[in-house]
Structure 1
Amino acid sequence: KSILYSNHGYQESELDSLPYVPKFKFTTATVIKNSYSAYNNYLTIDKGTKDSIDVDFGVISSKGVVGIIDNVSKNYARVLSVLNTKSRINAELKKTNHFGSLKWDGKSPEVVQLIDIPKQAEIKIGDTIVTGGLSTIFPKGIPIGSVQSFNLDETGNYFILDVRLFNDMTNLGNVHVIENINAKEILSLEPTDE
């Protein structure tokens, strides 16, 4: 709000009268099971449908992205970890907004890969990678990690980046489940025949 006050000349009373519709709801959960040494890893958390948790909700920690809920029961939910070869998350270079898909090659639990970054992107070792916001699962700007190395793919048109995770995926306690309040409405507008 303070940015709107100073940059756009709004009066505080004008902004306070505007309706505020939250886009995301956060629920804290505890990790009760976590695998990270397999090829396809999962976590289990202690929140389920009784807590309004559902599939396709994002899961983060205080340091960054953890994964996406792919199965849920009354009291628990299973999280498809970023350390799962089936995982795909929209992510981008924070400084340029060039985006691609975050995936895992099944090797180190500390490093994931960001693919399909166009070769026009200016990349430096240490650049921050964040969620891209081009899905209904994660808000834009959630931290993921930093660029450890990068190379062009076999086509020569796109970079593959090795990204060192900010999260220690081998040591997760409390996490936060993210629900996009508007996800169903947004998804209802997208074509289903593609």
Structure 2
Amino acid sequence: MQRIINFILSRRNTFLYLLLLFIGMMLTVQSHSYHQSKYFNSANWVSGQFYSISGGIGAYFDLKGENEKLQEENRRLRELLGTLEEVDSLQLAEDLRVYEYISARVNKNSITSYRNYLTINRGAAHGIEEDMAVITPLGVLGIIENTSQNFATVQSVLNDRSSINAIIKGTDQFGSLRWDGEDFTRVQLYDIPKLVPIKKSDTIMTGGMSSIFPPNIPIGVVVDYKLPKETSFYEIEVQLFNDMSNVRNVYVIRNNQREEILNLQAQTEDVE
């Protein structure tokens, strides 16, 4: 202990200089808007780079899990290729023209609050814009909310503000997918009428009724449901295909017809 005290005393001038330098820098930043903007921009850049590096390290140690996900994606692609003869080739070509996929990696992810977000390592410089869909090889993940040049934040499906159009596979009944803030492995599907036949293990997919998600993107499976007496609609528990606590590689989906759709809808609403 005495050695530590002696060390500090012998270098007291250096420590005093560093302390005064730090105080001076803080006073400068607080009293000048230009310095404030430079400081916060630098802080955002540093935090973005930190999350990028830490995300890369995490991805390295999770290579086995990522390989398993890629194998599952390849299996689904093989199934799709095996059924292409049954698909309308003109419709398939149209879908390929409309939707564009941009690969990205998750740098930061939260699952413990009511409004969870992810940060990905793609931004405006890579063509990422607000309100683009984000998925993984397993299914729906969220929607782009904000972008910088090289990064973007994603509103997770585990967010009490999230609402995604969804259907029960094999039916034409649309509902609203939301999260009650309880279990990060489950979300809830509402507004499905009681006349619709439903059973556990039914697959839930995107409905394609918005300009954000393409139709038929997997979401999860039904694990429970109930029909409250006071309503005519089910409350459905959906187990997510994604492990939301372990998400690395993602795809951002650009709808190349989105702007045209939104402009047309805006014109129609103005007429009304």
How high is the TM-score relative to the length of structure 2? Answer: 0.64
Is 1:137 the equivalent of 2:212?
Answer: yes
Is 1:177 the equivalent of 2:252?
Answer: yes
Equivalence for 2:130 = 55
Equivalence for 1:125 = 200
Equivalence for 1:71 = 146
Equivalence for 1:99 = 174
Equivalence for 2:225 = 150
How far apart, in 2, do the equivalents of 1:20 and 1:43 lie?
A: 27
How far apart, in 2, do the equivalents of 1:187 and 1:144 lie?
A: 25
1:44-92 per-residue CA deviation (whole Å, 9 max, x = no partner) reads 0000000010000000000000000011111111000000000000000
Equivalence for 2:52 = none
Quick check: which one's strand share is greater? 1
Deviation at 1:19, TM superposition (A): 8.6
Aligned residue identity for 1:43? L
Aligned residue identity for 1:161? I
How far apart, in 2, do the equivalents of 1:179 and 1:134 lie?
A: 15
Is 1:87 the equivalent of 2:162?
Answer: yes
Equivalence for 2:107 = 32
The 1:189–1:106 alpha-carbon spacing in structure 2 relative to 1, beyond 3 Å, is: same
Aligned residue identity for 2:113? A
RMSD: 2.1
SS at match of 2:198: coil
* Gap runs ≥5 in structure 2: 1-83
Aligned residue identity for 2:147? V
1:9-59 per-residue CA deviation (whole Å, 9 max, x = no partner) reads x9xxxx7xx999701000000000000011110000000000010000000
Aligned positions of 1:7-18 closer than 5 A: none
How far apart, in 2, do the equivalents of 1:148 and 1:19 lie?
A: 34
Equivalence for 2:54 = none
Q: Give % identity.
A: 47
Aligned residue identity for 1:85? D
Aligned residue identity for 1:157? S
Deviation at 1:154, TM superposition (A): 5.6
Equivalence for 1:112 = 187
SS at match of 2:153: strand
Return 151-160 or 63-72, whichever deviates more.
151-160
How far apart, in 1, do the equivalents of 2:156 and 2:95 lie?
A: 32
Deviation at 1:189, TM superposition (A): 1.1
How far apart, in 2, do the equivalents of 1:61 and 1:21 lie?
A: 18
Larger Rg: 2
Deviation at 1:97, TM superposition (A): 2.3
SS at match of 1:36: coil
How many residue pairs are counted as aligned between the two chains? 184
